[in-house]
C-alpha cells in the first residue's frame, strides 16, 4: 500500500555499482514501504543480487545513496545492516546441518544467562514464537535441521531473521528448487511477514511466484530500472516483456 | 493418584496427540513426542490405545530417505479432496469421509492465473498431500473444486464468458480427471459455500438457505430442499450481475451497471483511491477493522445496496435463513446491519417469524468444506454420509 505522506521505509536513490569495467547496477532507484512486498525481477546477471547485497550492507554503492525512513545511510557491513533492522536471507540459507531448529535460529546471536551459560529455555520459547508467527509446519523447535524439508529450511532461515526484530527483510530466490507444497508454504511465510507490517523485498526468477505475493514489481535489466508495476493490475506478459527488453521504460514518465 | 485422575490424564494426553496429528496431518511417533512434549513411552502407549479404538491408523512411508511408521487419523474408508480456487489464491483440504480435515494447504496465486498452470498445481498439491498422509491416489474417492464463476452443469465449462479469463472454453473436469484419474466435480464457489453452511454451518437444521458471498464480487448460493439450485446453465444465484445502476459502468460480463460494478472489490478500493492510494481488498478490510472512517463508510454503503438485492431475492425465493459469508463478512455488523435493515423493510420477510440474517460460521473454510461435501457426493460409498 502506498502512503504518500510518510517517506518510504527504504529508498535507493540512483545507486551505481561497478566491478572493474563491469557496470552491475547503474543509476538504480527502488522504494520499499512498510506492509509491502516488492519483487525485484530480471534475467540472469541483470543485477538483482548486487542490489540485494547493497541493501544487505555487503557491497557499498559507488554512487547514489540509501535512505532509511528518509535519512541517508551508509551501511558498512551485513552486521551493520542487521543493526539497522535490515535482514537478508540468501539463497544458500547458511544453516548448520548438525544443529537443531532453535540453535540455527540463534546461530551467532545466542542469548546467554549470567554472561556464560546459554539461555536454552528462553531461546527455545522464542524459536517456537517465531515459527508460530510464520504459521510454520515444523513439529518442534528441537527438530534437527537434517530432518527438515527444503521448504521448512527456508522457514527456519526466515525465522532466523526475526531474532533482531527487523523492519526490512530481503529474500533472495526463496522458492527456487522447491516442490509445489513447499512453495505454497514459503509464499504463505512471505504473506505472514507482510501482515506483521514488515517491508519485504523478494528477488526471484519465478514470475508466477512473485506475481502471487507481491504488491509491486520492479524490473531490472542490465543493471537499470526497466519498469515498475502494481501487481494487482498487471499482466504476466507485461512484466515478461520488460524483463526481456521488448518494452523500454521511460523513467521521466514516473510519478 | 486415584484411578479417576489417571484416566483423565490419559484422556487429556490422547486429546493432545489427536490435536497434533490434525495440525500436521501425519507424524512419526518420535515427531509426536516432540510436538506434544509427552515422553516416547507415553506416546507409544496412547498410540496403541487409539489404534485399538480405530481412531488412528499407522502407515509405512519414507521420510528423509528412511522408512518410517506414520501415525494419521483413521481414513480407511477413503479420502476426499476439496479445492477452492480464488482470483488470488487456492486453498486445498484433504479429509476423511466424515469430513475431518487431515491436511490443508494454501497457495497465493498471481492475478489472472490460467487454468493449465493452476490445475497443474492443484494436481501436484493433491498428490503431495495424499503422499504425506501415507496414502495413495486410489484412496481418493473424489475431488470437489470451487470456482469464482458459474459452471455449466452439463459441459463442465465456465458458463459466462468474461468473468474468469484464462479459464474459458475448456472442459475443466476432463482436464483434471485426466491428470489425476479420479472423479472431479467443479462448481461455483457461492454454491459450494451455501452447501457447506447448510450441512455444517449456520444453516444446519434447515434445508432452504440463501447464502450470500460478499467477496471480490457478490454471489449467492441457493439451497432448496437440501439441494443446490444451479439452473440449466449454472448461473442461478449470480446476483453480482443483476442490474444495480442503469447508468453504471459496463461489467466484465458485458452488461451495464451490474451489482459487481458498484460493490465489487474493484469498485470498493477505487472509492478510496483519493484518500488511500492504490490498496487491495485485504487492505480495505484491515483499515475498516482499524476504524478508518472512509473504509467503514464504503463497506456500510455496499451493505445497504447488497441488502436491497438480497431482500428482493429473499422475497422471491422464500428461504428459511439468510447466511452472509465471503471476505466482507469479516467486518461483521458493519456489513450485516445494513443488510438486516434492508431485509426488515420488506413486509413479506417480517411478520411473526421474521427471517434471520446471520453471519456464516465457516468463514474462509466454507468453499473448501463445500467442495469436500461435493467430492463425497461423487462416490457411491460415501454419498450417503452427511
Number of domains forming the structure of chain B: 3
Could you tell me the pTM of the whole model? Answer: 0.84
Task: Give the 3-state secondary structure of residue A83.
Answer: helix
Residues of chain B with pLDDT under 50: 382-386
Residue B386 lies in a domain: no
B109: nearest CA in chain A? A212
Choose one of B73, B98, B119: the last residue of a domain: B73
Q: What is the pLDDT of residues B150-187, one digit of tens each?
A: 999 988 899 988 888 889 999 999 999 999 999 999 99
Choose one of B73, B98, B121: the last residue of a domain: B73
In this structure, the answer to whether residues B222 and B312 fall within a common structural domain is: yes
Per-residue pLDDT at B65: 65
In this structure, the answer to whether residues B180 and B208 fall within a common structural domain is: no
Is B279's CB within 8 Å of A180's CB? no
In this structure, the answer to whether residues B33 and B101 fall within a common structural domain is: no
Sheet containing strand B356-359, edge to edge, reads B227-228, B218-224, B209-214, B321-325, B356-359
How far apart (Å, rounded) are the C-alpha atoms in residues B145 and A16? 49
Largest CA distance in chain B: 77
Per-residue pLDDT at B382: 45
B266 vs A contacts (CB less than 8 Å): none
Residue B269 lies in a domain: yes
In this structure, the answer to whether residues B274 and B180 fall within a common structural domain is: no
How far apart (Å, rounded) are the C-alpha atoms in residues A130 and A144? 17
Residue B382 lies in a domain: no
Residue B88 lies in a domain: yes
What domain range is B30 assigned to? Answer: 3-73
Residue B14 lies in a domain: yes
pLDDT tier at A5 (50, 70, 90 boundaries)? low
Q: Are B136 and B75 in contact (CB under 8 A)?
A: no
Return the percentage of chain A with pLDDT > 70, whole number.
96
Residue B383 lies in a domain: no
B276 vs A contacts (CB less than 8 Å): 1
CATH number at residue B314: 3.30.420.40
How far apart (Å, rounded) are the C-alpha atoms in residues A106 and B183? 48
How far apart (Å, rounded) are the C-alpha atoms in residues A217 and B182? 38
In this structure, the answer to whether residues B252 and B179 fall within a common structural domain is: no
In this structure, the answer to whether residues B373 and B344 fall within a common structural domain is: no
Per-residue pLDDT at B291: 94
Q: Which residues contact A43 (CB under 8 A, 6 or more apart)?
A: A221, A243, A244
Is B128's CB within 8 Å of A179's CB? yes
In this structure, the answer to whether residues B90 and B214 fall within a common structural domain is: no
Residue B234 lies in a domain: yes
Mutation site, B25, B107, B116, interface A, largest A CB count within 10 A: B107
Q: What is the pLDDT of residues A110-153, one digit of tens each?
A: 888 777 778 888 999 999 999 988 888 888 899 999 888 888 89
Nearest partner of B238 among B200, B201, B189, B281, judged by Cα: B189
Residue A230 at interface with chain B, using a CB cutoff of 8 Å? yes
In this structure, the answer to whether residues B68 and B83 fall within a common structural domain is: no
Per-residue pLDDT at A251: 67
Residue B96 lies in a domain: yes
A183 vs B contacts (CB less than 8 Å): 107
Nearest partner of B100 among B121, B117, B79, judged by Cα: B79
pLDDT at A52 over 50: yes
In this structure, the answer to whether residues B157 and B220 fall within a common structural domain is: no
In this structure, the answer to whether residues B344 and B245 fall within a common structural domain is: yes
In this structure, the answer to whether residues B249 and B140 fall within a common structural domain is: no
In this structure, the answer to whether residues B57 and B175 fall within a common structural domain is: no
Of B24, B64, B107, the CB nearest to A139: B24
49-88 in chain B: CB under 8 A from chain A: 63-64, 88
Give this complex's ipTM.
0.83
Q: What is the pLDDT of residues A193-228, one digit of tens each?
A: 998 889 999 999 889 999 999 999 999 999 999 999
Amino acid at each position: 500500500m502506498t502512503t504518500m505522506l510518510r517517506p518510504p521505509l527504504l529508498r535507493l536513490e540512483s545507486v551505481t555499482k561497478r566491478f572493474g569495467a563491469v557496470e552491475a547496477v547503474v543509476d538504480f532507484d527502488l522504494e520499499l514501504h512498510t506492509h509491502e512486498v516488492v519483487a525485484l525481477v530480471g534475467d540472469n546477471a541483470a543485477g538483482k543480487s548486487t542490489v540485494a547485497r547493497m541493501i544487505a550492507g555487503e557491497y557499498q554503492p559507488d554512487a547514489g545513496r540509501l535512505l532509511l525512513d528518509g535519512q541517508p545511510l551508509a551501511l558498512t557491513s551485513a552486521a551493520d545492516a542487521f543493526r539497522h533492522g535490515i535482514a537478508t536471507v540468501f539463497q544458500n540459507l547458511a544453516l548448520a546441518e548438525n544443529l537443531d531448529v532453535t540453535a540455527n535460529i540463534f546461530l551467532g546471536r545466542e542469548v546467554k544467562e549470567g554472561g556464560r551459560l546459554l539461555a536454552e529455555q528462553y531461546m527455545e520459547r522464542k524459536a517456537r514464537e517465531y515459527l508460530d508467527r510464520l504459521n510454520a509446519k515444523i513439529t518442534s523447535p528441537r527438530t534437527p535441521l537434517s530432518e527438515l524439508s527444503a521448504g521448512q529450511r527456508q522457514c527456519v532461515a526466515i525465522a532466523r531473521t526475526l531474532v533482531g526484530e527487523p523492519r526490512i527483510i530481503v529474500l533472495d530466490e526463496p522458492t527456487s528448487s522447491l516442490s509445489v507444497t513447499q512453495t505454497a508454504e514459503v509464499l504463505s511465510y512471505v504473506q505472514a511477514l507482510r501482515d506483521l507490517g514488515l517491508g519485504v523485498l523478494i528477488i526471484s526468477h519465478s514470475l508466477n511466484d512473485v506475481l502471487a505475493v507481491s504488491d509491486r514489481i520492479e524490473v531490472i535489466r542490465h543493471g537499470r530500472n526497466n519498469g515498475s508495476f502494481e501487481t494487482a493490475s498487471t499482466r504476466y506478459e507485461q512484466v515478461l516483456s520488460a524483463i526481456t527488453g521488448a518494452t523500454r521504460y521511460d523513467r521521466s514518465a514516473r510519478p | 493418584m486415584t484411578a479417576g485422575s489417571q484416566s483423565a490424564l490419559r484422556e487429556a494426553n490422547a486429546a493432545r496427540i489427536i490435536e497434533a496429528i490434525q495440525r500436521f496431518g501425519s507424524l512419526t511417533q518420535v515427531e509426536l513426542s516432540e510436538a506434544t512434549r509427552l515422553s516416547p513411552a507415553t506416546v507409544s502407549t496412547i498410540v496403541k490405545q487409539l489404534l485399538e479404538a480405530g481412531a488412528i491408523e499407522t502407515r509405512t512411508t519414507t521420510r528423509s530417505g528412511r522408512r518410517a511408521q506414520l501415525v494419521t487419523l483413521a481414513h480407511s474408508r477413503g479420502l476426499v479432496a476439496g479445492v477452492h480456487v480464488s482470483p488470488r489464491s487456492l486453498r486445498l483440504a484433504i479429509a476423511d469421509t466424515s469430513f475431518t480435515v487431515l491436511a490443508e494447504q494454501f497457495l497465493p496465486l498471481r492475478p489472472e492465473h490460467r487454468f493449465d498452470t493452476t490445475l497443474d498445481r492443484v494436481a501436484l498439491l493433491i498428490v503431495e498431500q495424499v503422499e504425506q498422509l501415507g496414502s495413495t491416489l486410489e484412496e481418493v474417492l473424489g475431488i470437489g473444486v470451487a470456482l469464482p464463476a458459474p459452471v455449466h452443469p452439463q459441459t463442465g465449462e465456465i458458463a459466462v464468458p468474461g468473468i474468469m479469463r484464462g479459464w474459458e472454453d475448456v472442459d475443466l473436469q476432463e482436464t483434471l480427471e485426466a491428470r489425476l484419474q479420479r472423479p472431479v466435480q467443479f462448481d461455483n464457489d457461492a454454491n459450494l459455500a451455501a452447501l457447506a453452511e447448510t450441512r455444517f454451518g449456520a444453516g444446519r437444521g434447515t434445508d432452504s438457505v440463501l447464502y450470500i458471498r460478499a467477496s471480490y464480487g457478490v454471489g449467492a448460493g441457493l439451497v432448496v430442499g437440501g439441494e443446490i439450485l444451479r439452473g440449466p446453465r449454472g448461473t442461478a444465484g449470480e446476483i453480482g450481475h443483476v442490474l444495480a445502476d442503469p447508468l453504471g459502468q459496463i461489467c466484465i460480463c458485458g452488461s451495464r451497471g451490474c451489482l459487481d460494478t458498484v460493490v465489487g472489490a474493484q469498485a470498493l478500493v477505487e472509492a478510496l483511491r483519493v484518500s488511500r492510494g492504490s490498496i487491495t481488498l485485504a487492505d480495505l478490510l484491515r483499515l475498516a477493522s482499524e476504524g478508518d472512517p472512509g473504509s467503514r463508510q464504503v463497506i456500510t454503503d455496499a451493505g445497504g445496496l447488497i441488502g436491497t438485492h438480497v431482500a428482493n431475492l429473499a422475497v422471491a425465493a422464500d428461504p428459511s435463513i439468510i447466511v452472509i459469508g465471503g471476505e466482507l463478512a469479516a467486518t461483521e455488523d458493519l456489513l450485516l446491519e445494513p443488510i438486516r435493515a434492508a431485509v426488515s423493510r420488506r413486509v413479506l420477510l417480517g411478520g411473526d417469524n421474521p427471517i434471520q440474517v446471520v453471519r456464516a460460521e465457516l468463514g474462509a473454510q466454507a468453499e473448501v468444506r463445500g467442495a469436500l461435501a461435493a467430492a463425497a457426493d461423487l462416490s457411491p460409498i460415501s454419498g450417503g454420509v452427511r
